[in-house]
Structure 1
Amino acid sequence: MYKLYGALGSPYSMKMRALLRYRRIPHLWIDGSAAREALAQVRAPVIPVLQYPDGHFDNDSTPLIYDLEARHDQRSVVPPDPAQAFIAHLLEDFADEWLTKAMFGYRWLEEVDQVQMSRWLAFDALKGGGLEASQKFAAMFRQRQVSRMALVGCTAENFALIEASTRAVLAALEAHVVNRHSLFGTRPSLAEFGIFGQLSQLGTDPTAQVMMRADYPYTYRWLAHVDDMSGFGGDWEPGFAPVVTELVRIAGEVYVPFLRANAEAAEAGAATFRMTAMGLPYEQAAFKYQIKCLRELQARYRSLDAQSGVPLASVLGENWLGLLSA
């Protein structure tokens, strides 16, 4: 049986738990101190960590999803249509690498969120030991996370763009989920689980939760459904729903310039980069991992045959086509 080591406050842990539930892959959910011990078994010490039935450990949610696809046939989360599969991957990547900034910003920019969430995360991790020990751990963890804000681009100056793009995503979902819960038919893809992982945290943190409940109440409730879709059936459907086109457009407006600026900065040996998207400024340190994400998107796009590329052109738009064809 698989063992998923994670945490309730980790968007990628919630993403993988929901996906395993949907796919009905038997697993144990393990958090707290045991999750920390599992980190010693992987190269990059980040959760979630998945222990396989044969005993080996691995992490990084996107490669894990594709590895599980290769190992298990039932209830796939990758659409069989190559064009849809590519778009699902693109949206999952957008959620993992851009929407995560909303999670981080809402959690650590305002004091009310810093206090509650550092204490809750300490409570989750320690599972006992007394209030004094828990709050001492919370204070240290809060200081560490807040100190990393500028490094990952979640500053007060950048948050206008982060929030505007997040609200655009939420508005697109709000118009869609009142009709159906999934993006590519009546069954979920990896895109839904990627988006869910990040939004699951907005649904618990004080400031973001108030915002979601007030302005996007059905998307807020949608989170509870995606958390366990083990009872859902459904089918893939051809074409692209309006919500998919809109989410790709939003990603093209924000995530494309982010990926391009980051790659150009890394190539030039610059430590940081600046960009403007949605008419708003943004600046952060350059990261190698996002270059890997860009190269993966480009490779997947190039691997599509000509027939699959026809419907994609109208969905992707100029921003994405220019980046993917580079």
Structure 2
Amino acid sequence: MVYELYGALGSPYSMKLRALLRYRRLPHIWRDGAATREALAQVRAPVIPVLRYPDGHYDNDSTPVIYDLEARHAERRVVPDDPAQAFIAHLLEDFADEWLTKAMFGYRWLEEVDQIQMSRWLAFDNMKGGGLERSQAFAAQFRDRQVSRMALVGCTRENFPLIEASTFAVLDALEQHVVNRHCLFGTRPSMAEFGIFGQLSQLGTDPTPQAMMRARYPYAYRWLAHIDDMSGVDGEWEAGFAPVVAELVRIAGEVYAPFLLANAQALEDGAETFAMEAMGLPYRQGTFKYQAKCLRELRHRYRALEPAARADADAVLTPAWLALLQAS
């Protein structure tokens, strides 16, 4: 019973799922490069990673895949047993997937040094041969396409001060935490660690953010190598919330909660763009239906909590989060 994961080293969501499969000790084959093209034809949205299940079906939305694997395999689950912790782990994973990814995209495609190296590396990864001239020609085309998408995903120079400030805040929190322990909810990793790792794994590779991490956050940088393969880790969930969890929830409440609210309101109003301010910095981008879906899912999971579990979650949720989650 073997899974096949079709992805790429330069894809944060591919690295997220590969690390999760490794930790869960689920037998799998990693396939990248040209092999991914056939798998992309098997899914509705042609984006990696794509997971081929042992029964032959395919899926490629990383968060639902995590929950599906939880239902299929009892051992080494990554959703905490405690319902309040499970909700907060989901919230932090969602924050990583939908907000921290902007740091990955911005660092990779805003500055020429990163554009050149990473477009060439990504072409090299995809083509695996064929000569340097052909590879670099493809890299130039790919670079132009990605740079043209910057405004669409909100990674403009005008927005990047907020994106970078929130990323520094996350890295500050991790740097202080990981010198004491690697995990957030005990001595075993949750879905939150894998979501955060996926995005930061790219910052640890690209020239500009890698230099920044090595200089300012050396232990958070090294932590990435450990999360990449935790197959040898055996641990337990621990009661309560570590200070780092409360701090990450606070940071997410400062930037991601108003982002979700502004996007949802713009969609309701029929607007094509929205603007907000967070951490004293401006932000503007086009509306996205997928982020509205994320908000609905967060509200659904919050409202499904039993009163005692909801009270436990409320203890770490900031007023911004409570207002967002409790709204009708």
With normalisation by structure 2, the TM-score equals 0.99
Question: 1:75 and 2:54 equivalent?
Answer: no
Map 1:106-185; keep pairs closer than 5 Å.
106-185=107-186
- The CA distance in 2 between the partners of 1:215 and 1:126, in whole Å, is 34
Map 1:203-222; keep pairs closer than 5 Å.
203-222=204-223
Aligned letter for 1:197? G
- The CA distance in 2 between the partners of 1:37 and 1:201, in whole Å, is 25
Map 1:29-44; keep pairs closer than 5 Å.
29-44=30-45
- The CA distance in 1 between the partners of 2:19 and 2:111, in whole Å, is 29
Aligned letter for 1:108? W
Aligned equivalent of 1:229: 230
- The CA distance in 1 between the partners of 2:310 and 2:61, in whole Å, is 28
Q: Which stretches in structure 2 are left out of the alignment for 5+ residues?
A: none
- The CA distance in 1 between the partners of 2:100 and 2:303, in whole Å, is 25
Partner of 1:315, secondary structure, is coil
- The CA distance in 1 between the partners of 2:116 and 2:37, in whole Å, is 22
Partner of 2:59, secondary structure, is strand
The superposition leaves residues 2-53 of structure 1 with CA deviations (integer Å, 9 ceiling, x where unpaired) of 0000000000000000000000000000000111221000000010000000
- The CA distance in 2 between the partners of 1:271 and 1:310, in whole Å, is 37
- The CA distance in 2 between the partners of 1:167 and 1:36, in whole Å, is 35
Q: Which runs of 4+ in 1 moved over 4 A?
A: none
- The CA distance in 2 between the partners of 1:144 and 1:64, in whole Å, is 28
The superposition leaves residues 281-307 of structure 1 with CA deviations (integer Å, 9 ceiling, x where unpaired) of 000000000000000000000000001
Partner of 1:316, secondary structure, is coil
- The CA distance in 2 between the partners of 1:80 and 1:148, in whole Å, is 40
Greater alpha carbon shift after TM alignment, 167-176 vs 30-39? 30-39
Question: 1:52 and 2:44 equivalent?
Answer: no
Question: 1:63 and 2:64 equivalent?
Answer: yes
Aligned letter for 1:102? A
Map 1:197-208; keep pairs closer than 5 Å.
197-208=198-209
Note the C-alpha offset of 1:127: 0.3
Aligned equivalent of 2:314: 313
Note the C-alpha offset of 1:314: 2.0
Percent identity, aligned pairs only, is: 79
The superposition leaves residues 86-116 of structure 1 with CA deviations (integer Å, 9 ceiling, x where unpaired) of 0000000000000000000000000000000
Question: 1:286 and 2:287 equivalent?
Answer: yes
Aligned letter for 2:270? G
Question: 1:12 and 2:13 equivalent?
Answer: yes
Partner of 1:259, secondary structure, is helix
Aligned letter for 1:150? A
Aligned residues: 326
Aligned equivalent of 2:255: 254
- The CA distance in 1 between the partners of 2:58 and 2:303, in whole Å, is 31
Aligned letter for 1:168? A
Aligned equivalent of 1:298: 299
- The CA distance in 2 between the partners of 1:137 and 1:317, in whole Å, is 46
- The CA distance in 1 between the partners of 2:143 and 2:9, in whole Å, is 16
Q: Which stretches in structure 1 are left out of the alignment for 5+ residues?
A: none
Partner of 1:121, secondary structure, is helix
- The CA distance in 1 between the partners of 2:70 and 2:132, in whole Å, is 43
- State the Cα RMSD in Å: 0.4
The superposition leaves residues 205-235 of structure 1 with CA deviations (integer Å, 9 ceiling, x where unpaired) of 0000000000000000000000000000010
The superposition leaves residues 121-150 of structure 1 with CA deviations (integer Å, 9 ceiling, x where unpaired) of 000000000000100000000000000000
Note the C-alpha offset of 1:243: 0.1
Aligned equivalent of 1:98: 99
Partner of 1:283, secondary structure, is strand
The superposition leaves residues 38-81 of structure 1 with CA deviations (integer Å, 9 ceiling, x where unpaired) of 10000000100000001111111000000000000110000000
Partner of 2:51, secondary structure, is strand
Note the C-alpha offset of 1:169: 0.1
Aligned equivalent of 2:239: 238
